Amino acid sequence: MRKRLIGAGLLVLIVVLLTGCTNLNEPITAESGGFWSHYFVYPLSWFIIEVAKIFWNSYGIAIIITTLIVRLVILPLMAKQVKSSQAMQELQPKIKALQEKYSSKDQNTQRKLQEEQMKLFQENHINPLAGCMPLLIQMPILFAFYQAIMRTSEIKTQSFLWFQLGAPDPYYILPVIAAATTFLQQKIMMGRTGNANPQMAMMLYVFPLMIAIPALYFPSALALYWVVGNIFMIFQTYIIYEKHDDKEKPAEGSRKKKK
């Protein structure tokens, strides 16, 4: 968990540096220079505009549809993350046994512990970093969304429901919904994995705050992206874990017959 948080923090820092090099007041066009603007921000801005043209020039609907498409594209990565987290959960007794065996704080002992853990992962075909992949994919998209909103006047100036897409929600409804859906999604995920790790329990309350606080100040379009993405992930979690459980049941049945 600690490595995952450090990795996420470094990724955020890198993307912030990339986005910080761009003038947010500069409109995004096909002629916009720079790797980040040309290959990340402009394609997303163009796609949202094209989708809006289909749906009555509503950029709110376009952002919802774009969010759903992004989530569908990274769905295979999420399925892989579920498989990895389930496998890691099954290995927990063996990992704890190794930690007890190499409990000394001596540097050589800790190195040996890491080697044994990596050997255990390799034998069971588990990549401990697989859980980070969806986050690695989503973070650039999130920051590209932010710049596409701020640098596309059609998106920035249009209203949707009770809020303006380019400004924070004046009634704080979206930040609250974003935090609530983040909490619910994390709670469901923990319930399905059966993970009682104290660090995970702490993140159950930290992650919603990490979403809610920026949502108070960021454009409402970004909070809308979070809300739609969270709702999608809630249903996605149920579907993926149901399929995984259905695959496990025949295997368990065959084991009982062998006994």
User: Which has more confidence, 128 or 140?
Assistant: 140
Residue 126 has pLDDT above 80, yes or no: no
Residue 195 confidence class, pLDDT cut points 50, 70, 90: low
Residue 135 confidence class, pLDDT cut points 50, 70, 90: low
Residue 103 has pLDDT above 90, yes or no: no
Residue 221's contacts (CB-CB under 8 Å, 6 or more residues apart) are: 59, 60, 63, 145, 149, 155, 160, 165, 166
Residues 128, 151: Cα–Cα separation, whole Å: 38
**DSSP three-state, residue 124:** coil
Residues 215, 223: Cα–Cα separation, whole Å: 6
Give the residue carrying structure tokens 């490595």: 3
Average pLDDT for residues 51-68, to the nearest whole number? 92
> Which DSSP letter does residue 41 get?
I
Residue 198 has pLDDT above 70, yes or no: no
Residue 152's contacts (CB-CB under 8 Å, 6 or more residues apart) are: 27, 28, 45, 48, 49
Both tokens of 145, joined, read 């969304």
CB atoms < 10 A from the CB of 255, how many? 9
CA–chain centroid gap for 215, Å, is 16
Query: 9-31 as b/e, with b when 16 or more CB fall inside 10 Å?
Result: eebeeebeebbeebeeeeebeee
Q: Which of these, 64, 48, 223, lies nearest to 151 by C-alpha position?
A: 48
Both tokens of 225, joined, read 């992206």
Q: How many CA atoms lie within 13 A of 147 on its CB side?
A: 29
Cβ 145 vs Cβ 136: under 8 Å: no
Average pLDDT for residues 86-103, to the nearest whole number? 76
**Each residue's pLDDT tens digit, 8-47:** 555 455 545 454 455 666 888 887 877 888 888 888 889 9
**DSSP three-state, residue 163:** strand
Measured at the alpha carbon of residue 120, what is the angle toward residues 119 and 125, in degrees to the nearest 5? Answer: 95
